[in-house]
Structure 1
Amino acid sequence: MTQTQKTQKALRLGTRRSKLAMAQSGHVADAVRELTGRDVELVEITTYGDTSREHLAQIGGTGVFVTALRDALLRGDVDFAVHSLKDLPTTQPEDLALAAIPRREDPRDVLIGRDGMTLAELTEAAEGGVVRIGTGSPRRMAQLNACARHRGLRLETVPIRGNIDTRIGFVRNGELDAVVLAAAGLNRSGRTDEVTEFLDPDHVLPAPGQGALAIECTAANAELAATLAELDDPLTRVAVTAERSLLAALEAGCSAPVGALADLLADDQVVKEMRLRGVVGATDGSSLVQLSTTGPVPTTQDQAEALGRELADEMLAKGAAGLMGERAH
């Protein structure tokens, strides 16, 4: 470390206060320390989404976990911020730079069932009774209920909110048979051993951008943006850009029942194609529109966005708009 680096002020990283947010921001802080040689201090910020007890669909969903962080950036209270990418609105403000999207974690959803049981085992143990699964996501509700209808299972999806401990607590105290969470959050929190089943994306597609982080700073701070850009993973960026473009073209917010996943397909360990899958569903599982497209890996943001828009147009032509209810902008 040079003498200049020693005397530079610590970089201030804005983060939500939750254990998960602090854990993932801590990983980014370590990477920035190693990259720059500068100290990084975490600045805890409370967002509206953290304080409201209403379900995301009721409070609008879009931006509720990021607005306070972005306001802190623009006021100069912090130098950069870390978000879960799936929480970001699809329109990027001109005065903020999405400087880096690091390599994505596991994008899948997972089930945490009572007594370590999978969904199939819970259904068998219920002996014809109803299996109660907690989730705060209309997207998960739509796909779980559709899967249950297809397989003749008796499921009840129960709306819940709260942090990881709160949600798992519903299972531990017997209120619910299982809860569904994002694999990435459990991995980053060191709690993967609590997972009883990884849900196949063929049955439950994740939220657009799920498993990825977004590192944001002001557009005016070009030097910091260029430094943070070294943490960017180009393949992750084009994949999540396609997913979020699909979400934007559907004119749906992050609380809408929309799933998307861009898989990078490799041949002899060389990534050659990308498959984009999208789903929109009625929350009761009565109807789904699920389509996919496969093509060359986009080499620019424009190409990735075009791929998402094209698939969204096909989904809208199949009736996707009618399954989203009131659209969240």
Structure 2
Amino acid sequence: MSAPALRLGTRRSLLARTQSGHVADLVRARLGREVELVEVTTDGDRSQASNTSLVGSSSTGVFVSALRDALLADEVDLVVHSLKDLPTAPHAGLALAAVPTREDSRDVLVARDGLTLGELPVGSRLGTGSPRRAAQVAALGLGLEIVPIRGNIDTRVGKVTAGELDAVVLARAGLARIDRLDLVTETLDPLQVLPAPGQGALAVECRESDTDLVAALGEHLDDAGTRAAVLAERAVLATLEGGCSAPIGALGEVVEGEDGDELWVRAVALSPDGALSVRSSAAGRLDDAVGVGTRLGEEMLADGAGQLGQPGPVDTQTEQGEER
């Protein structure tokens, strides 16, 4: 008798269903298990559909929580998140079973007339919902007006095609997954704009108690280099969150060292206006990814990263959901 189909919980957005479908295909091919997608509708989805805001809450947090609630209620067997949306603290009863091979983690520009960031005239209106992107673009000193925006990929790009904005900054991974890289006018060098911790990576979660499924997903879907990189990035973020409310970017990469592969991590914390920043990097073993990231975060705090933020909470962890 064949095993029952695994129920994979997904949000209804195009990007969420595409990401979930990608993981479903991996499970079918590598675990030999059938998978059915189960739609989980969240308050965040309903809010976006009606063009209203979720007052007093993070839409990203709503999306993540709804999927996790469905897991814990045994309505689904596994879920897929954009890893950059996940809080850094572990969630009781759930396991991060797999981190598949990462998409390109960089940010991209979608601008009118095919322009690059450096070609945008002074005073051009650039939209982003991310404090991290806003601060790093401002730090380049290009004289652009940074406009806060919300919404999915089509909503944001639509503001450019409608002439409301001259450009928007998005995550390359999201556009790649929905086959819309033709929109990109420039891929931003991490030397200019470091991505969010975990950007471009997917997180596959299931219940801790489903030990066989946790083991199978880890064995067949997990990519060791991607996991090490994102663990280090998230460790930087977790360390800085303890004493820093500044926008944060981080990127871990597996590079060739003298004794084999090693992990190299770069990070930046900025004042919200981009005028001040603390940048640093560190290297270490892949099997000490959390340690590498933690030590880097501690070094940045010692260098003054904790004094860069503004009064009150700044959303350094999330960027309005998914790979936008």
| 1:10 maps onto 2:5 in alignment | yes
Measure the CA separation in 2 of the matches of 1:271 and 1:203. Answer: 28
Deviations 1:56-80 (A, max 9, x none): 9963467332101000000000010
- Quick one: structure 1 residues 319 and 112, their matched pair in 2 at CA, closer, same or farther if it must change by over 3 Å? same
- Whether the aligned pair in 2 keeps the contact of 1:73 and 1:79 (CA below 8 Å) is yes
CA RMSD in angstroms comes to 2.3
What's the counterpart of residue 235 of structure 1? 225
Deviations 1:16-38 (A, max 9, x none): 21111111111111111112333
Aligned pairs for 1:27-106 (under 5 A) are 27-52=22-47, 59-60=57-58, 63-106=61-104
- Quick one: structure 1 residues 61 and 165, their matched pair in 2 at CA, closer, same or farther if it must change by over 3 Å? closer
TM-score (norm 1): 0.88
- Whether the aligned pair in 2 keeps the contact of 1:104 and 1:213 (CA below 8 Å) is yes
AA matched with 1:321: G
The correspondence for 1:20, drawn from 15, 21, 26, is 15
What's the counterpart of residue 320 of structure 1? 305
Aligned pairs for 1:1-329 (under 5 A) are 4-5=1-2, 8-52=3-47, 59-60=57-58, 63-123=61-121, 129-148=122-141, 153-229=142-218, 230-251=220-241, 257-266=247-256, 272-295=261-284, 297-299=285-287, 303-325=288-310, 326-327=312-313
Q: Secondary structure at the match of 1:144?
A: helix
AA matched with 1:273: E
AA matched with 1:44: E
Measure the CA separation in 1 of the matches of 2:260 and 2:55. Answer: 37
Measure the CA separation in 2 of the matches of 1:48 and 1:271. Answer: 47
Q: Report the identity percentage.
A: 58
Measure the CA separation in 2 of the matches of 1:212 and 1:271. Answer: 24
Deviation at 1:49, TM superposition (A): 3.8
Q: Please, which runs of 5 or more residues in structure 1 have no aligned partner?
A: 124-128
- Quick one: structure 1 residues 47 and 319, their matched pair in 2 at CA, closer, same or farther if it must change by over 3 Å? farther
Measure the CA separation in 1 of the matches of 2:139 and 2:56. Answer: 23
- Whether the aligned pair in 2 keeps the contact of 1:109 and 1:206 (CA below 8 Å) is yes
AA matched with 2:169: V
Q: Please, which runs of 5 or more residues in structure 2 have no aligned partner?
A: 318-324
- Quick one: structure 1 residues 313 and 285, their matched pair in 2 at CA, closer, same or farther if it must change by over 3 Å? same
Deviations 1:245-295 (A, max 9, x none): 111111269x96111001221369x96222111111122111111111123
Deviation at 1:173, TM superposition (A): 0.4
TM-score (norm 2): 0.89
Q: Secondary structure at the match of 2:62?
A: coil
Measure the CA separation in 1 of the matches of 2:5 and 2:189. Answer: 42
- Quick one: structure 1 residues 247 and 93, their matched pair in 2 at CA, closer, same or farther if it must change by over 3 Å? same
Q: Secondary structure at the match of 1:92?
A: coil
